[in-house]
A and B are shown apart, each in its own frame.
Chain A
Amino acid sequence: MTDTAIEPAATAEPVIEADDERAADEAHDQDVLDDELLVEEISIDGMCGVY
């Protein structure tokens, strides 16, 4: 009976680096998208004493 060595999984570093770049791009895109929500009008009808 022999022990079969379990090969370690192939290193995922290149995939992680690509994910980091993708995350950075998505964060930048999100910053730009967030700019789409620069103004929001709020209805305060009926809210006596708010201001």
Chain B
Amino acid sequence: MRDRALRLHPQVAIRAEPFGALAYHYGNRRLVFLKHRDLVDVIEQLNDHRTPADAFAACGIDERRWATFERALESLLRSEMLEDAATLADAPA
């Protein structure tokens, strides 16, 4: 997971909240609470980093928490809030 290129789905909007953020997918109409500001920071960094591990490090996430963050990213993948960035990169021009 941590070596998999991910990005926020283009149909997802994130709204900052005191507890973290709300993420809404305009395509599948799913609403997700991002319950920690650190996770929001990581998601915002995904586009600027090759892998989630790079984003974790860039956001200063304690390595003891990486497994928890990976599970959160997997959950967001299942709800299609995140997608594989490689899917777009490999698409023919």
Known contacts: A32-B64, A32-B65. The answer to whether A38 contacts B30 by CB under 8 A is no
**Once the chains are docked, how many angstroms separate the CA of A39 from the CA of B34?**
5
Contact B39–A38 (Cβ < 8 Å)? yes
Stretch at the interface among A1-9, A14-22, A40-48: A40-48
Chain B's interface size range is: 10 to 19
Instruction: Bits for B53-93, please: 1 = Cβ < 8 Å to A, else 0.
Output: 00000000000110011011001100100000000000000
Chain A's interface size range is: 10 to 19
Q: Which of A19-51 contact B (CB under 8 A)?
A: 32, 34-44, 50-51
What total of A-B pairs shows CB separation below 8 Å? 46
**Once the chains are docked, how many angstroms separate the CA of A46 from the CA of B35?**
24
Contact A40–B64 (Cβ < 8 Å)? no
**Once the chains are docked, how many angstroms separate the CA of A34 from the CA of B34?**
12
Report the minimum CB–CB distance from A45 to chain B (whole Å): 8
**Chain A residues, CB < 8 A from B33:** 39-42
**Once the chains are docked, how many angstroms separate the CA of A15 from the CA of B79?**
48
**Chain B residues, CB < 8 A from A40:** 32-33, 35
Contact A35–B31 (Cβ < 8 Å)? no
Instruction: Report A's interface with B, CB cutoff 8 A.
Output: 32, 34-44, 50-51
